[in-house]
Amino acid sequence: MAYLWKPGKISAIKVATAITSPDASGDLSGEISGTTNTYENLQAYAKNITVAIPAGACEKVDLLGVDSSGFQNAELEDKPFENGGISGTLVLHDVAVLESFYYGDGTSATDTGVTGKTYRPGILTSSGRKDSAILMTLNNGLSTTSNKKINVLLNNARITKLGDVKISGPDGHFEVEFEATCLPRDFYFQILTGTA
């Protein structure tokens, strides 16, 4: 029988600075934790999430002649895998969630009774745009040997979109869309079974 993964089974959607060497031989959900690095948890702000697994296209190369069944001779040529990606919609919040990963460190802003940051696209530190690690963990929550966990990690990811900021409707709330991408070599999809 198929197990249906529901939104409530998302135990974390974390964003942190890029991980130097993710350990694919262990549980990837421990790669971003409060003890190893500072992270933002998007789970509390996210309304929806879409993960784009890198597509591996093939192209048909037609050859001369026909085979023994009468079909034209042909071969499949593998094309490079496309980038992995993640996108979604966040509720616009009164604290910075993805801003520093997208804009850079920003400029300190202070005035009477207020402090904060001003972010402007294109103004970057000497190190350039930040590489991020984005980890989504699904856990079915069963405390038996049939417990299942899925980890999706995009490492060295770049946040490519933070906006548009829009209202969900006349009686709604403000939202902001985001997108991020990573190279195929930095995309990890992990399925685990056990009691953890």
Query: For the segment 32-86, what is each residue's pLDDT rounded down to a tens digit?
Result: 876 667 788 888 788 889 999 999 999 999 999 999 999 999 999 999 999 999 9
The type of residue at 120 is: R
**Strand duo 46-52 + 84-91: pairing:** antiparallel
pLDDT, tens digit, for every residue of 180-196? 999 999 999 999 887 65
Confidence at 125, pLDDT banded by 50, 70, 90? low
State the Cα–Cα distance between residues 144 and 72, nearest whole angstrom: 53
Mean pLDDT on 107-133: 82
DSSP state of 93: -
Tell me what pLDDT residue 177 has.
92
Q: Domain-by-domain residue ranges, the chain?
A: 7-55+71-107+116-194
How many helices and strands in the chain, by DSSP H and E? 1, 12
pTM, full prediction: 0.85
3-state secondary structure of 99: helix
